[in-house]
Structure 1
């Protein structure tokens, strides 16, 4: 049997390595970093998006469905307008959360509700591409490629971990398409988002 020259052997090994890299999803995912995702999200032009949300609650046999519109105005204003089944508006502006339904308005300061604040701020910080804010509250785990990625946020704060187990987001390029919030009691919500003009 003829032994290949050292140069040819190195070439064969490199070729095999590249082949394995191409077959290994985890290796491909490593090429798309949290920094790249955050930069893409920060650079995108935000507008109005439609959403459909399903809430899975242990005491109910069927999920609760709602739909409406989302609007994010960087860096700190996030609006969620629920149109069905009941009209409700939630506006997060800075650290103030305002909820309005049936002509009744309630105002909260997020600092007074840290376990809820982290959940809401995590979503807003992701849309803004604010990695520093996210890493202050969460451990970030990213899988996939630029074309199809999954970002999992695991809370670090003890008060928040009593309520939220994790937040899982899926998207393509600079668009967040799905937000799933898993609570520690087993309840969860799944929101599908479609930016206007997206396929």
Structure 2
């Protein structure tokens, strides 16, 4: 299997809603920090991550605009202003959408496995993002992304497990 074949399968994704559990491993902490909630993808441009535990937080990416809401406060920014944030979010959205052009614009890409068990490793190209993000690893089966690992340059990492819709 090659990248265009995987992207073609992913591009058929109709979107939908599922749940996630994320564990963040931070060097300063003895135990990982766990959060959980819902993910919603409306192809090709809208991705919503609603964290329910340990505290409610909603992150919505609509085209190039990112809105983060916590309680009564909300903040909206453009991804062009914060490329390091864009790198993290675009890895999920572009993969779910099967958007090879966007992935190639932001990352060096390495694909391994078969259609039924694939792994995509994305290394940021942006100089600001490279200072923070070492790599992003997405693991999936056919058109489903089941796990997203983010390794930061300081050694911290997060592992997000995504349930089947």
TM-score by length of 1: 0.81
In structure 2, C-alpha distance between the alignment counterparts of 1:61 and 1:146, rounded to whole Å: 37
**Who is 1:93 aligned against?**
62
Q: Which residue of 2 aligns with 1:186?
A: 155
Partner of 2:105: 136
> After the TM superposition, which residues 52-91 of structure 1 pair with which residues of structure 2 at under 5 Å, given as runs?
52-91=21-60
The residue that corresponds to 2:8 in the other structure is: 39
Secondary structure of 2:39's aligned partner: strand
Shift of 1:66: 0.6
- Over the aligned positions, Cα root-mean-square deviation in angstroms equals 0.9
**Which blocks of at least 5 consecutive residues in structure 2 are unaligned?**
none
Max radius of gyration: which structure? Answer: 1
Equivalent residue, structure 2, for 1:158: 127
The separation in 1 between residues aligned to 2:105 and 2:130, in whole angstroms, is 14
By relative contact order (CA 8 Å, sep 6+), the higher-ranking structure is 2
- Taking the aligned partners of 1:136 and 1:76, their CA distance within structure 2 comes to 16
SS at 1:51's partner residue?
strand
Deviating 4+ runs (over 2 angstroms): none
Aligned pair partner of 2:142 in 152, 170, 173: 173
The structure whose residues are more often strand, as a share, is: 2
Structure 1: where are the runs of 5+ without partners?
Answer: 1-31
Q: Residue 26 of structure 1 aligns with which residue?
A: none
Q: TM-score, normalised on structure 2?
A: 0.97
Aligned residue in 1 for 2:85: 116
Greater per-residue helix proportion: 1
